[in-house]
Structure 1
């Protein structure tokens, strides 16, 4: 197994909470992603993803999603050719697209940078992620050929 270690940013939320984010690349362009162990799937913001893929490639996603502070919502999907987390390359990832405007509006009010998406438990579990808050690092593991 190969170990890939990435730095985490800890974003203070008000007086007593925090969110963690990491830098990634979507189709070769820099992206900021929230790490959310409570999110079942990795999702991307419906508007911000347009900086990385063409909206003409969006397709309806016929399952309702819940979470991220909302009730059930309809979603769309798009194929992301490459999602890169350090040396971890995830190719041809079917990305679920949600309106994350409410998250980014909250970040703006707190004078925090907006996020492009959320890394969820699907990717965290598949790559045996370990979050180390003390060292502000996340470790992913990949099978070596």
Structure 2
């Protein structure tokens, strides 16, 4: 496994679930978490129940957000958190805190995994990420 080019400095090992979702184990504010990789999610998100786990401060104002369906839900923007992998800082970005229990309930129907958050298109585009499906790796 080699990194594609000089713009991609970090190789992150990922895993495939029975449901065909891809996830990785990455640190947020030096705490390891489990994150789905979802290019269809415009923003990276953290389960609001895990805000304290990752030492995230949120802004007071809530936003109305929506998922792939038409359902609306409240979301809170966080102050910047630090993403790292094997102690190497990859990026600092704001997250949306949302209730991820419906996602975890759905995932638990096929997989025994609980996710802490979602790595969305904001992170993937900013870091020109490449997901290698054959090797199940993410290059950033």
Q: Give the gaps of 5 or more residues in structure 2.
A: 1-6
8 A Cα contact 1:49 1:116, kept in partner:
no
C-alpha separation in 1, matches of 2:47 and 2:125: 21
2:48 matched to 1:50?
A: no
Segment drifting more, 24-33 vs 68-77:
68-77
Decide whether aligned partners of structure 1 residues 82 and 28 sit closer, same or farther in structure 2, where only a CA change above 3 A counts: same
Shift of 1:61: 3.9
TM-score by length of 1: 0.81
C-alpha separation in 1, matches of 2:60 and 2:128: 30
Q: 2:30 aligns with which of 28, 31, 34?
A: 28
Cα RMSD (Å) of the superposition? 2.0
Aligned residues: 133
1:70-122 residue CA offsets vs partner (Å, 9 max, x unmatched) = 6121211222442214534323x222101000111122333421000000000
8 A Cα contact 1:6 1:22, kept in partner:
yes
Shift of 1:2: 4.3
2:13 matched to 1:12?
A: no
- Equivalence map 1:1-145=2 (5 Å): 1-13=7-19, 18-53=20-55, 57-67=57-67, 71-86=71-86, 87-91=88-92, 93-140=93-140
Shift of 1:49: 2.6
TM-score by length of 2: 0.83
Hey, which of these two has a bigger chunk of strand by percent?
1
C-alpha separation in 1, matches of 2:109 and 2:51: 21
